Chain A
Amino acid sequence: MKKVVSVGLLMLVASMVFSGMPISADAQTDLSILLKIALQAKREVKQQISSDSSEEIKRLFEEASNQVVLLEKSLESDDPSSAKQHFLNAMKMFKRITQMISSDIPTQELQSTDAASSSTPQRDYSSFLERINKFISTLKSIARSQSVSFVEADRLVAQAAQQIRKNDDRGLKTTLAELKDALDDIQKELRKLASQTTDDRTIKFFNNMLDRLEKRGANQESLSDARAMLSDYEKTKSKELKVELIKIIRELYKATS
Chain B
Amino acid sequence: MNQQLNPLHRQESILEDGMLFVRTESILQTMAKLPILLAGFIIMAVAMPFQNSYSSIKTMDLIIYSDGSTHISSEIGVDSLEVDFALSLFGNEIDNFVAIGENDVLLSAEITNDVATIGTFSSSTISINYDIHDLVSKEGRIWTFTLDAPTDYTLLMPENSVIVGMSALPLNMEIVDERTRLLLPSGPSEINYVFGTSTMFPPSPTPENEFDSTLIVIGGAVAAAGAIGAVLLKRSQKKPERIATTTMAETGKPIEPETIFNLRPNLREDDKELINFIFNNGGQAFEGELRKKFLQPRTTMWRAVKRLERQGIIEIEKKDMQNLVRIKKELEDEQ
Using a CB–CB distance below 8 Å, which chain A residues touch chain B?
Answer: 2, 6-7, 9-10, 13-14, 16-17, 20-22, 24, 27-30, 33-34, 36-37, 40-41, 43-48, 84, 87-88, 91-92, 94-95, 97-99, 101-103, 105, 110, 113-114, 116-119, 123-124, 126-128, 130-132, 134-135, 138-139, 141-142, 144-145, 187, 190-191, 193-195, 197, 201-202, 205, 209, 242-243, 246, 249-250
A33, B122: Cβ atoms under 8 Å? Answer: no
B166, A127: Cβ atoms under 8 Å? Answer: no
- Given A48-B197, A88-B169, A110-B140 in contact, is the A118-B152 Cβ separation under 8 Å? no
A residues in contact with B198, CB < 8 Å: 44, 47
Interface residues in B17-44 by Cβ distance below 8 A to A read: 29, 33, 36, 39-40, 43-44
A residues in contact with B195, CB < 8 Å: 117-118
B192, A95: Cβ atoms under 8 Å? Answer: yes
Cβ of B226 < 8 Å from any Cβ of A?
A: no
A residues in contact with B294, CB < 8 Å: 40, 43
Using a CB–CB distance below 8 Å, which chain B residues touch chain A?
Answer: 29, 33, 36, 39-40, 43-44, 46-47, 50-51, 56, 63, 65-67, 69, 71, 80-81, 83, 95-96, 98, 100, 104-108, 121-122, 129, 131, 138-142, 152, 158, 160, 162-167, 169-173, 185-186, 192, 194-198, 200-202, 268-270, 273, 294-295
B53 CB to closest chain A CB (Å) equals 9
B105, A194: Cβ atoms under 8 Å? Answer: yes
B residues in contact with A127, CB < 8 Å: 65-67, 69
Minimum CB distance partner of B66 in chain A: A118
How far is it, in angstroms, between the C-alpha of A96 and the C-alpha of B65 when the chains are bound?
24
B residues in contact with A197, CB < 8 Å: 105
B177 CB to closest chain A CB (Å) equals 12
Minimum CB distance partner of A132 in chain B: B96
How far is it, in angstroms, between the C-alpha of A17 and the C-alpha of B138 when the chains are bound?
43
B121, A202: Cβ atoms under 8 Å? Answer: yes
A29, B171: Cβ atoms under 8 Å? Answer: yes
Minimum CB distance partner of A116 in chain B: B200
A residues in contact with B95, CB < 8 Å: 131
B167, A88: Cβ atoms under 8 Å? Answer: yes
Minimum CB distance partner of A32 in chain B: B173
- Given A84-B169, A201-B105 in contact, is the A21-B50 Cβ separation under 8 Å? yes
A residues in contact with B269, CB < 8 Å: 43, 46-47
How far is it, in angstroms, between the C-alpha of A6 and the C-alpha of B121 when the chains are bound?
39
- Given A17-B43, A91-B164 in contact, is the A10-B36 Cβ separation under 8 Å? yes
How far is it, in angstroms, between the C-alpha of A13 and the C-alpha of B69 when the chains are bound?
45
A205, B173: Cβ atoms under 8 Å? Answer: no
